[in-house]
Amino acid sequence: MRNSRNLIPAIGLCLVIIFFAMCWIVVGDSGSVVGSPSEVLGMLGALVLYATILATFANIFIAARRAHRAGSWLWFFSVIFLWPVSYIYTLAVNRDG
């Protein structure tokens, strides 16, 4: 049970890394790219984009709930307003929930 508490944050972080790597490979040094996500990244890239967004919002919710339960208002507002901090909080600071 303890390992499954960080399953959503771990999957979300993997999706973020995969998405940024995919953008780096597809877009590269081409400068400005205009178009919808499916035009620029393809259907797979667009699906990874939306899955990454949903996983990040889920992780923000989990981190905010853990910070609220711990009574730390500084972490609570930090994870809400800075999305990378939510991954740091759930995977490194408050791992047990």
Q: What is the pLDDT of residues 13-50, one digit of tens each?
A: 999 999 999 888 887 766 667 778 888 888 898 999 99
64 within a domain of the structure (yes/no): yes
32 within a domain of the structure (yes/no): no
Range of the domain at 66: 3-26+40-93
Q: How many domains does the chain have?
A: 1
How much of the chain, in percent, has pLDDT values that exceed 90?
Answer: 55
21 within a domain of the structure (yes/no): yes
Rg (CA), the chain: 16
State the DSSP H helix or E strand holding residue 66, giving kind and residue range, or none if neither. helix 37-70
pTM of the predicted model, to two decimals? 0.84
